[in-house]
Amino acid sequence: MNRMKFDPTALSPELRRVERRLMLKGALSLGGLSMLSGCALDDEPGVERALARMMNFTDRIQAMLFSRHRLAREFDAAQITRPFPFNAYYAEDDVRTVDPAGWRLEVAGLVADRRPWSLAAFRTLPQKRQITRHICVEGWSAIGCWSGVPLSIFLQHIGADMNAKYVNFRCFDDYSTSIDMATALHPQTIMTLDFDDATLPPAYGAPMKVRIPTKLGYKNPKYLAAIEVTNRFPGGYWEDQGYDWFGGS
């Protein structure tokens, strides 16, 4: 039997908010939610304020539990999921491509060197290989082999302010997301150039994907176009629609 995959982008913002409210109601009574959030829930704005406060609370707890020294599990090559699934907010036939030779990563924000970077320049930096599990918020997971430059090394090369709060990513498929600096400096957070020991293919984010095995899949941006180090909260494509910002796996 063929199953139709649920596409959250098909929902209007209003329906997405209703969906989130129903999920919270299933986890908490309205009275408990009101007590924890300090908001009156007798109207739509009250519910939205309660949701926002609960999301901020979970973000703070996840950040407190996160450690740069705690690694995500790594696997053997025999455990790699084949074929590795494609996943995006659009169909695989709609994947956008760019000329790898002409691609440049834009650099902005609290950094000393804002010159754009080519793929050839990234190849000169130390590389790290990992076989880790991608965990999707939709409930599935898959194990893949990724290789690339640790984001911490790249940030050092551009003279990034390591005391800044956020690293923001913009992608040429109009996607965006952001992470905290502690996650950016985690040793398993890499700027991926290769998948399964070959050049990263378009379906998985060519010419560059940020692989973050300590985060859920939507925090792993593909088709990277720009990176920004900032103290201004950047949000993200799904985060701005109500998804958890910290997104720990």
Neighbours of 101 (CB within 10 A): 9
Residue-range domains of the chain with CATH: 8-65 (no CATH), 77-241 (3.90.420.10)
Q: Which structure tokens are listed for 95? A: 């994947």
Q: Is residue 33 over pLDDT 90?
A: no
Segment of 51-55, 174-178, 242-246 carrying the highest mean pLDDT: 174-178
The whole-number pLDDT of residue 54 equals: 62
The whole-number pLDDT of residue 11 equals: 46
The whole-number pLDDT of residue 59 equals: 64
Residues 141-164: what's their mean pLDDT? 98
The whole-number pLDDT of residue 179 equals: 97
Evaluated on CA atoms 139, 144, 148, 149, the torsion sign reads: positive
Beta-strand pair 106-109/224-230: parallel
Neighbours of 76 (CB within 10 A): 8
Residue-wise pLDDT tens digits, 61-94: 666 666 777 999 999 999 999 999 999 989 999 9
Residue-wise pLDDT tens digits, 182-232: 999 999 999 999 999 999 999 999 999 999 999 999 999 999 999 999 999
| Residue in this structure with the two tokens 């996607």, named with its chain if needed | 175
Length of the chain equals: 249
Q: Which structure tokens are listed for 150? A: 């640790």
